[in-house]
Structure 1
Amino acid sequence: MNTTVPASAQRMRIDKWLWAARFYKTRSVASEAIDGGHVRLNGTAPKPSRDVRPGDMLDITVGNQTWTVRVLGLNEQRRPAPEARLLYEETPESTARRETEREARALAPTPGSDLRGRPTKKARRQLRGFNEGF
C-alpha cells in the first residue's frame, strides 16, 4: 500500500489533502470550510491552495467536532477510510476532548422531549409571537 507521493512532490494543496484524508466529501466543500475559517494550518488560517507537508499540524472543525491532527503522509487519490487514517495522527488531547464531547451529547436530553401532544392555545400564541418577530 503506497500512502505517500513520490519524493519529488512532498507537498499537496490543503483542500486536496482534506478530501483525500476523508474529512470532507468533496474538494469544493473542503475549500468552503477553509474559506469559512474551519481549518487552521499550524495555527494560521490558510487559503485552499496552500501547501501542506508531512509534520504540519491541522485544526479541523466538521459540524460540532474538532480534530487536531499531525499530517503523516500525502496521497493524490481518495482511498478507503482505513487507508485514509494512515495519512494523519490525531493528538491525544484532541481524542480526549472529542470523547468527552461525545459523552456530553449522549447524556444531554433530546430537544423537545418534554413536549407532549398538541400545543395549547397559550403555547400557540407564544409560537406565533416568536415567529412574527423574525
Structure 2
Amino acid sequence: MPEKEKLRIDKYLWAIRQFKTRTLASDACRAGRVKLNGNNIKPSHEVKVDEVYQVSKGPERKVVKVTGLLENRVDAKTAVLYYEDITPVEQTSAFQSMFHAPVLKRDRGTGRPTKRDRREIDDLLDGDKPSVAEEEE
C-alpha cells in the first residue's frame, strides 16, 4: 500500500476501519469524540506516526496509536498493521459486560420520571460510590 506523508485524521480513521464511512469519522471529529492529548481535533488534522488518539463511538472508547499511514481503506487484517490498540483493559467492551452496569427500564406510557424517581435512579447509578456520611467516617 502506498503511504503518504500528509493524511487527514478522518481519512485515516476510515482507512483503519474505526468508522464505516469517512463522513462518520468527520462528524465524530467535529463532535469532539476524537481527541489528541485530551484536546478535540478537526477532521483536517494531519496524522503523524506515533501519535495517540482517543476515539469514542457510543459507549465504546478506544485509544489508538498510529504505527503507519494508510490512505485507502483495506481489509481488517491489513488495517491492524497500521495502528496499535492501547486501550486499557478496564475500558474495553469485553470487560464492561451487561453484569457490571445496571439496566434501567421504564414501563411504556408511565411518563417522565418524577423528582423522587430521578433521585432513586441516581442512587442506583451511583450505588458503587460511597456517600458523604461514609466518606467522613
TM-score, scaled relative to structure 1:
0.71
Name the SS for the 2:39 alignment partner: coil
Quote the residue 1:79 is aligned against: 74
Quote the residue 2:127 is aligned against: none
In 2, are the aligned partners of 1:14 and 1:48 still within 8 Å (CA)?
A: yes
Q: Which amino acid aligns with 1:31?
A: S
1:103 and 1:41, CA in 2 relative to 1: closer, same or farther beyond 3 A?
Answer: closer
How big is the shift at 1:109? 5.4
Quote the residue 1:89 is aligned against: 84
Pairing of 1:12-23 with structure 2 (within 5 A): 12-23=7-18
How many residue pairs get aligned? The number is 112
Listed as ranges, the gaps of 5+ residues in structure 1 are: none
Quote the residue 1:30 is aligned against: 25
Answer 1 or 2: which has greater helix percent.
1
Check if 1:61 corresponds to 2:56: yes
Name the SS for the 1:68 alignment partner: strand
2: CA distance between counterparts of 1:43 and 1:95?
Answer: 16
How big is the shift at 1:80? 0.7
2: CA distance between counterparts of 1:104 and 1:56?
Answer: 26
**What is the percentage of aligned positions where both structures have the same residue?**
33
TM-score, scaled relative to structure 2:
0.70
Structure 1, residues 17-53: CA drift from partner, whole Å, max 9, x if none?
0100111111111111000000012332111111101
Listed as ranges, the gaps of 5+ residues in structure 2 are: 114-137
Name the Cα RMSD after superposition: 2.4
In 2, are the aligned partners of 1:40 and 1:60 still within 8 Å (CA)?
A: yes
